[in-house]
């Protein structure tokens, strides 16, 4: 089923929400025109929140660790299908990160635990022509980042937030966490990571949102 022609009430509701965010992109909502130094904690046009809002397409798939697999394929020397046990046996790290959502909220100092990007890279070894990483999720969401953005030291596949397993609504059991980009680049319920030579703009990137998505440069829209 395509996301755009679901006739159910949830489908129509979802369409309304997606339509609203596309309108924001077209109108340049939230843009201040200011730039901020990357060292500055709060990017321009953002405000701090203490709760953790939930944003997604309205489908929150139940993904069980007992049957979970992560597929990593494409332009890599060693494609892999990893079970939950295999993922947990990889080196893990704690990382304190801020989250910046394009809808203008930022949430500071989240302790995420997970598998660092560098561990994934060492495992699968991107081929020389590889330039992009496309995340595919269980709700059919996709998002794309450059290999360089994925390779930053604070990037991880996270399974734990502030000492608790990441909840289903926030993308558990495993989600991307790319703290220096707007949060739509951090895929919830990750199913597959596709390494690629060619870029493939994802769900929001094809609906008016910026391909690069640097909050300090206010790269909200395309």
Ligand X SMILES: Nc1nc2c(c(=O)[nH]1)N[C@H]1C(S)=C(S)[C@@H](COP(=O)(O)O)O[C@H]1N2
For ligand X, which is the closer residue by CB, 52 or 197?
Answer: 52
Q: Does 184 bind Mo ion (CB under 5 A)?
A: yes
Q: Number of residues in contact with ligand X, rule: CB under 6 A?
A: 18
Of the residues 18, 55, 80, 147, which one makes contact with ligand X according to CB under 6 A: 55
From the list ligand X, Mo ion, none, partner contacted by residue 97 (C-beta under 5 to 8 A by kind): none
Q: Does 49 bind ligand X (CB under 6 A)?
A: no
Kindly write out the interface string for residues 73-112 of this chain, putting x where it contacts ligand X by CB under 6 A and - elsewhere: ----------------------------x-----------
Q: Shortest gap between Cβ of 185 and Mo ion (angstroms)? A: 9
Q: Shortest gap between Cβ of 31 and ligand X (angstroms)? A: 17
Q: Shortest gap between Cβ of 101 and ligand X (angstroms)? A: 4
Name the nearest CA neighbour of 183 among 4, 54, 12, 1: 54
Residues that bind Mo ion (CB under 5 A): 55, 184
Residues that bind ligand X (CB under 6 A): 52-57, 101, 137, 139, 141, 170-171, 183-184, 186-189
């Amino acid at each position: 089923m395509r996301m755009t022609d679901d006739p159910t009430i949830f489908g129509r509701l979802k369409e309304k929400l997606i339509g609203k965010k596309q309108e924001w992109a077209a109108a340049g909502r939230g843009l201040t025109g200011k730039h901020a130094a990357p060292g500055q904690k709060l990017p321009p046009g953002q405000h701090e929140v203490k709760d953790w809002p939930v944003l997604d397409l309205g489908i929150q798939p139940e993904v069980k660790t007992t049957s979970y697999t992560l597929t990593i394929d494409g332009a890599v020397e060693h494609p892999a299908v990893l079970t939950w046990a295999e993922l947990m046996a990889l080196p893990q790290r704690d990382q304190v990160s801020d989250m910046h959502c394009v809808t203008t909220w930022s949430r500071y100092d989240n302790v995420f635990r997970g598998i660092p990007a560098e561990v994934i890279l060492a495992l699968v070894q991107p081929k020389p022509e590889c330039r992009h990483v496309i995340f595919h999720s269980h709700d059919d969401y996709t998002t794309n980042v450059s290999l360089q953005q994925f390779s930053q030291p604070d990037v991880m596949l996270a399974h734990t937030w502030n000492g608790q397993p990441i909840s289903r609504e926030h993308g558990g059991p495993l989600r991307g966490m790319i703290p220096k980009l707007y949060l739509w680049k951090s895929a919830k319920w990750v199913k597959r990571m596709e390494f690629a030579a060619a870029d493939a703009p994802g769900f929001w990137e094809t609906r008016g949102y910026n391909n690069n998505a640097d909050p300090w440069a206010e790269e909200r829209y395309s």
